Structure 1
Amino acid sequence: MDSALVESGERRIGWAARAMPVLTAIGARFAAERPLEGLRVAACLHVTAETAVLMGALKAGGAEIALAASNPLSTQDDVAAALADYGIAVHARAGVDRDAYYRHIHQALDIAPAVVLDDGCDLVNILHTERTELLDGVLGGCEETTTGIIRLRQMAAEEALRFPMVAVNDTRTKRMFDNRYGTGQSTVDGIMRATNTLLAGKTVVVAGFGYCGRGVAERARGLGARVVVTEIDPVKALDASLQGYDVRPMAGAAREGDVFVTVTGNRDVIRGEHLAVMKDGAILANAGHFDVEIDVRALDELAQAVHRGVRPNTDEYVLADGRRLLLLAEGRLVNLTAAEGHPAAVMDMSFSAQALAVAWLVRERPSGLEPGVYDVPEEVDVEVARLKLAAAGIEVDDLTPEQERYLHSWRAGS
């Protein structure tokens, strides 16, 4: 093992941990209580410094961990080296191809996990399709992404899901802080690092106005961009309109946009007919989990020439009429490929909820949790928020006894 990589990874992890006081405190509690003693955990997550702090907390609680990457372009090799040196089985390397990506997931599953942590549902999918011999040993797991939750709920609806999964993505702290503030800042960060473009005065098209899309739209507008939103959900479209955004179909927005960001969790959001009418120099970025939101195959077919790496994480596609379209991060997660993902202070809350959800699963599963998708218990979400406020030195009010009685009485009138 390259000692220089280990040292670099340790420094990077230490820097992230400074901004993750809640998870650090949970790790200290786990070390004292050992609630995960002997628990085998298989994880498919972004191998970043923030993830390393989560892995450290789980290991402190007694877990044995095997970690694969949920996106090869986001893997930080020095962090992987530091985790391996710490005694975690890491199956990840930056930039591997699709075959190696899935091989690494299989290697993580070789641990025969009792608990799984997933980021996009690929690990759970493989368990249910190719590694079914391991299913009976799984107590449950956690899923961290909107895309993964969509897949899990469909599995549950078809009665295909064989164990309980906790929807960490759907907590109030995760949606508000991770999806909105984390995705918003890190996506814009990735676009600017990859292109060095000035967003002020540009037209930025945001496809999808969920929590992630809101965050991207807010940050782009804050930097002076004119923001156009595309949506399929009438309620979200109305919300965007009432917040002052221009809402229109992608067919119309495609002709006007300077920068396009897909944040939907669906595929083929930007298709060949949209690419065919875009401006010269239009920038295409994806902040949804999988690399299917921008139809890269259609882009390849339209292009007469492709110039790879015109800037780091930027490929230039030259169309027949000379127009150039710039694809960032190969259509993968731009915020984790061209930037460093969510700031550590944001991941502090998401991963704290994940760590506490694992401990909850271990406590509750023996009492009979059925297969299905479960919300994180409200007390876990509230505990994470309270710990974060305490770490920031922020105090909130407590209800008086009279207020408690009022809220729990239906007899009190005006």
Structure 2
Amino acid sequence: MTTARRIERSERSMPVLSRVRDQWSRSRPLTGVVVAGCLPLTAETGALARTLRAGGAELVLCSSNPLSTQDDVTASLREQGIAVHARRGVDRAGYYDDVRATLDALTGAGRAVLLDDGCDLISTLHQERPDLLGTGALLGASEQTGTGVLRLRQLARDGALSLPVVAVNDTPVKRVVDNRWGSGQSTVDALLRATGMLLAGRVCVVAGFGDVGRGVATRLRGLGAQVVVTEVDPVAALDATLDGFRVLPMAAAAAEAHVVVTATGGVDVVGARHLPLLRDGVVLANAGHFDVEVDVRALLAAASDREPDVRPALDEYTLADGRRVLLVAEGRVAGLAAAEGSPPAVMDLAFALQALTVRWLVGSAGTLAEGVHELPTEIDQRVAALALESLGVEVDRLSTAQATYLRSWRSGS
């Protein structure tokens, strides 16, 4: 199957995005707009690119993760005339060269919107290309990951965020469908592909019980694993406990674990202090965006030997006492680096939100303040309604009396 056919095959499972593309091919609402995206370059992203181009946008893309790039997809996009700066497996320097090249394409642009996945494009813009800010050409940006939104809020807190950015990750549809169900499935898919192990009966530790962590924990439990959750947030820990999961500190959980999956968006979740506690043959995987949740440098420093690719996307580290630690996808986001990311039906909604965010930013040009913005509820509701329609699911509508009651404060007991 050619890559173009693979992208088309993904599009068949993306009815909401296809609906947007069909509408935009007639109305062309993005004519004259340059869209610069730092995204996982998968077949589903190819479908998003086709939608944006159908709307009239000019595209320039780079990858948001060196191990998530599918080189055949980038080649196919280039054949379609889309500028793509990405290659699978590049080192850190090469990765940021691609990010810079993407920003360079904005020089002289009349109107532009950024699509980010992890905030690398936006942070590099602020640190290295401030000349692109304040010209009026950059209408705004969107960010589709929790990690990226966290970085953006820190940037705004420091008074350094100089354009409006929509936190697409924080919409209900994105959090429930992509973060919980999509990331949950793709992370477990990555574990199975990389290790080939039987998860039933194994002790699987999930660090973090946010939307992604909950999704991973639920999928692992469904496969018969004994799931333990670690948390720093008392509310999330209580939530996990009431959902039937054991909750332990990482120091206690690490000693039991056959598998540890990090899903916190933080740093040093599994660090040097935990290495002496790990059992022989433990598998470490990261569901978060960056390769900092598992301290790979500490693991490398403690290892007497490292054997890469004992299986695809699986490296084996031998510690001084002979214990072996297996690391999935170099500690990078496992679902994309060791599997194929969320299924097309999931990315359909996530990318429909992204596409409609671009349209909203273009339509709101000049009216949005610098800072982090929520996506209007009506856009989230529209995507959910289109998804239900594609699934043949019908929902009730409020009667006039019900709607009036919900708007009134006068009625009581």
Which range, TM-score by smaller chain? over 0.9
Give the counterpart of 1:19 among 10, 13, 16: 13
Deviations 1:146-177 (A, max 9, x none): 00000000111111000000000000000001
Match of 1:395 in 2: 394
The Cα shift of 1:413 comes to 2.7
**3-state secondary structure, aligned to 1:139:** strand
The partner residue of 2:119 within 121, 126, 130 is 121
Given residue 397 of structure 1, which amino acid in structure 2 is its aligned partner? D
**Superposed CA RMSD:** 0.9
Please name the residue that 2:39 is paired with. Answer: 45
Residue of structure 2 equivalent to 1:4: none
112-121 or 20-29, which deviates more: 112-121
Counterpart residue identity of residue 389, structure 1 = L
Determine the C-alpha separation between the residues in 1 that align with 2:240 and 2:33.
45
Query: Pairwise mapping of residues 23-172 of structure 1 onto structure 2 (< 5 A)?
Result: 23-112=17-106, 114-136=112-134, 137-172=137-172
Contact 1:202 1:226 in 2 (8 A): yes
Cα distance in 2 for partners of 1:103, 1:27 equals 31
* 2:39 aligned with 1:10: no
Matches within 5 A, 1:166-315: 166-315=166-315
Which stretch shifts more, 80-89 or 193-202? 80-89
CA distance in 1, matches of 2:233, 2:9: 40
- TM-score normalised to structure 2 length: 0.97
Q: 2: CA distance between counterparts of 1:285 and 1:8?
A: 31
- Please list every run of 5 or more consecutive structure 1 residues that lacks an aligned counterpart in the other structure: 1-6
Q: Which residue of 2 aligns with 1:404?
A: 403
CA–CA distance in structure 2, aligned partners of residues 193 and 45 of structure 1: 23
Question: Given that residues 165 and 372 in structure 1 are in contact (C-alpha distance below 8 angstroms), is that contact kept between their aligned partners in structure 2?
Answer: yes
AA in 2 matched with 1:177:
V
**Superposition deviation, residue 365 in structure 1:** 2.0
Corresponding residue of 1:342: 342
Q: What secondary structure sits across from 2:166 in the alignment?
A: strand
Matched position secondary structure for 2:305: strand
Shift of 1:107: 1.0
In 2, Cα distance between the equivalents of 1:392 and 1:155?
Answer: 39
User: After superposition, what is the alpha-carbon deviation per residue over 1:42-90, rounded to whole angstroms, capped at 9, x for unaligned?
Assistant: 1100000111111111111111110000011111111111111112111
User: How far apart are the structure 1 equivalents of 2:343 and 2:326?
Assistant: 26
The whole-number CA distance in structure 1 between the counterparts of 2:228 and 2:253 is: 7
Mean CA deviation greater in 99-108 or 206-215 = 99-108
Q: Check the 8 A contact 1:9/1:80 in 2, yes or no.
A: no
Deviation for aligned residue 1:412: 2.0
Runs of 4+ aligned structure 1 residues displaced above 3 Å come to none
Unaligned runs of 5+ in 2: none
Equivalent-residue separation in structure 1 for 2:272 and 2:156 (angstroms)? 33
Identity across matched positions, percent: 57
Letter in 2 for 1:119: D
Q: Deviation at 1:316? A: 0.5
CA distance in 2, matches of 1:176, 1:358: 21
Alignment check: 8 A CA contact 1:8 1:79 kept: no
Task: Find the residue that maps to 1:360 and give its secondary structure.
Answer: helix
Task: Please give the secondary structure, in 1, of the residue aligned with 2:255.
Answer: coil
Matched to 1:65, the amino acid is L
Q: In structure 2, what residue type is equivalent to 1:335?
A: G
Query: 2:17 is matched by which residue type in structure 1?
Result: L
Name the counterpart of 1:316. Answer: 316
Residue-by-residue CA offset, 1:96-125 (whole Å, 9 max, x unaligned): 111111111111111216110000000001
What's the CA shift for 1:202?
Answer: 0.2
Q: CA separation in 1, counterparts of 2:81 and 2:50?
A: 10
Deviation at 1:258, TM superposition (A): 0.3
Q: Distance in 2 between matches of 1:327 and 1:276?
A: 16
Deviations 1:158-203 (A, max 9, x none): 1100000000000000000100000110000000000000000000
> Secondary structure in 1 aligned to 2:277?
coil
Distance 2:268 2:197 in 1: 25
Q: Partners of 1:162 and 1:293 in 2: how far apart?
A: 29
